[in-house]
């Protein structure tokens, strides 16, 4: 099963790792910011998430204790507020992007308690 999961993660983020960071970026041709990357990756998992400010979630977002592939991780890089996001891609890893690194896959342990929660977008009314 782990081999299948690794293959799926690789396919879902193919072409995104190494993509450059662009503030406000929403087009993978030119670059993405962290929420643009969330929108792109979730779309590859078949979930169309809206373009919202990080953490401004409506009734369609539900907090989850244990993330599944495609769930959004909200991260407080600076402790006073949530200011970063990534997508859980399985095996304890998230894909995210920053100005310093571009898009990378990082183990959640690297964020420690800065991950404030995982959220799943539930499409519907």
Residue 87 CA to residue 16 CA, distance in Å, equals 12
Identify the three-state secondary structure at position 60: coil
pLDDT at 4 over 70: no
Report the chain's mean pLDDT, rounded to a whole number. Answer: 86
Q: How many residues does the chain have?
A: 125
Give the tens place of pLDDT for each residue, 66-88. 999 899 999 998 877 889 999 99
Mean pLDDT is lowest, of 44-53, 82-91, 94-103, for 44-53
For residues 106 and 12, the model is more confident at 106
Residue 117 pLDDT level (bands cut at 50, 70, 90): very high
pTM reported for the whole predicted model:
0.87
pLDDT value of residue 93:
93
pLDDT value of residue 125:
59
Mean pLDDT highest for which of 5-9, 50-54, 83-87? 83-87
Q: Which domains does the chain have, with CATH numbers?
A: 2-121 (3.90.1720.10)
Q: What is the DSSP string of 42-110?
A: HHHTT-------TT---TTEEEESS--TTPEEEE-SSTTS--EEEEEEETTEEEEEETTTEEEEEEGGG
For residues 121 and 54, the model is more confident at 121
pLDDT value of residue 1:
28
């Amino acid at each position: 099963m782990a081999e299948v999961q690794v293959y799926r993660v690789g396919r879902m983020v193919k072409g995104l790792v190494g993509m450059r960071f662009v503030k406000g970026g929403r087009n993978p041709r030119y670059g993405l910011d962290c929420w643009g990357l969330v929108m792109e990756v979730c779309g590859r998992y078949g979930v169309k998430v809206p373009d919202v400010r990080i953490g401004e979630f409506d009734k369609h977002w539900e907090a989850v204790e244990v993330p599944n592939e495609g769930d959004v991780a909200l991260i407080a890089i600076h402790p006073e507020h949530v200011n970063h996001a990534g997508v859980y891609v399985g095996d304890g890893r998230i894909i995210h992007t920053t100005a310093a690194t571009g898009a990378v896959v990082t183990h959640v342990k690297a964020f420690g308690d800065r991950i404030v929660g995982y959220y799943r977008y539930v499409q519907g009314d």
